[in-house]
Amino acid sequence: MKEVRRLLPGENLIYFADSAHCPYGAKPVEVIQRRAFAICDFLLGLDVKLIVIASNTTSIAALDAARRQYSVPVIGIEPAIKPAASVTRNGRIGVIATGVTLAGERFDSLVKRFGDGLEIYTQPCPGLVEAVESGRWGDAETEALLGRYLDNLLANGVDTIILGCTHYPFLRPLIEKLVGSDIKVIDSGVAVARQVARVLEKKILAADDRQAGSELFFTSGDPEIAGPVMRLLWGKPDLIVCREEF
């Protein structure tokens, strides 16, 4: 969402955090699909013109089904195998993500399409989403957990690491501290924002960027818990988070 806002200052953005059902990483695919449909229905009730499934896990589990279900454009997020393939020097790439993302057919397809001739090492990372959701992306416990996951990849000699979960960019400073300056760290945020812009232009849906767009934030959890973290992540101390349960 930050990258979309940076690129498209005139668009009105609505963010829904499914805090009450987070994390998705270990949930069955059918459960993730049901939540994705429920959230899309809610957003369409607010008359959105495009939906971004801002989750690698949910994109793996529900993107194709959502595109069949809804008439508005639906954009997903996937681990940045293609960009990583273009920057790796030694052909060894590490991917940190949730278990659902790494086990999905869409991830396998990505590797087949863009990973030819590369060695791709995957590392599921239980616990990292919870650390970000609770605002603990800089404490000693999170650093120790992240260090164990990254050590597994570094032991294989990777020179590029893909952040395969939309929570992980908030851990980027810590990741870069742990892996050192010789390791490239890549995420999908900029690429997704550019795709949003392309689709809006193609569909003649883009807003006039001469006027600043608005932002609305919702959570399915307790705003007293989710709100402070969302304000910190977005960088606005006066941000209002509304509760919406379904």
> Are 49 and 17 contacting, i.e. CB atoms less than 8 angstroms apart?
no
Residues 135 and 202 in one domain: no
Q: What is the predicted pLDDT for the residue at 24?
A: 87
Q: What is the predicted pLDDT for the residue at 141?
A: 95
Residues 95 and 160 in one domain: yes
Ranges of residues in the chain whose predicted pLDDT is under 70: none
Residues 68 and 99 in one domain: no
pLDDT tens digits along 65-95: 999 999 999 999 989 999 999 999 999 999 9
> Are 217 and 230 contacting, i.e. CB atoms less than 8 angstroms apart?
yes
Question: What is the domain extent for residue 15?
Answer: 2-77+190-243
Q: What is the predicted pLDDT for the residue at 123?
A: 97
Residues 97 and 163 in one domain: yes
Residues 41 and 96 in one domain: no
Residues 159 and 146 in one domain: yes
Q: What is the predicted pLDDT for the residue at 236?
A: 94
The domain boundary, picked from 151, 171, 187, lies at 187
For 96, how many CA atoms within 13 A lie in the half-sphere containing its CB?
Answer: 29
Q: What is the predicted pLDDT for the residue at 25?
A: 79
CA dist., res. 69 & res. 223, Å (int): 30
Q: What is the predicted pLDDT for the residue at 22?
A: 87
Task: Provide, rounded to the nearest whole percent, the portion of the chain with pLDDT above 70.
Answer: 100
The domain boundary, picked from 187, 212, 231, lies at 187
Q: What is the predicted pLDDT for the residue at 206?
A: 95
> Are 63 and 53 contacting, i.e. CB atoms less than 8 angstroms apart?
yes
CATH number for the domain that contains residue 146: 3.40.50.1860
Residues 63 and 35 in one domain: yes
Q: Quote the Cα angle for 55-128-163, to 5°.
A: 55
> Are 95 and 132 contacting, i.e. CB atoms less than 8 angstroms apart?
no
Residues 88 and 128 in one domain: yes
Residues 35 and 116 in one domain: no
Residues 183 and 92 in one domain: yes
Residues 174 and 93 in one domain: yes
- Number of domains composing the chain: 2
Structure tokens at 200: 């809006």
DSSP string, 34-53: HHHHHHHHHHHHTT-S-EE-
CA dist., res. 35 & res. 119, Å (int): 34
Q: What is the predicted pLDDT for the residue at 100?
A: 85
Q: What is the predicted pLDDT for the residue at 245?
A: 93
Structure tokens at 109: 């397809």
Residues 147 and 220 in one domain: no
The domain boundary, picked from 187, 209, 232, lies at 187
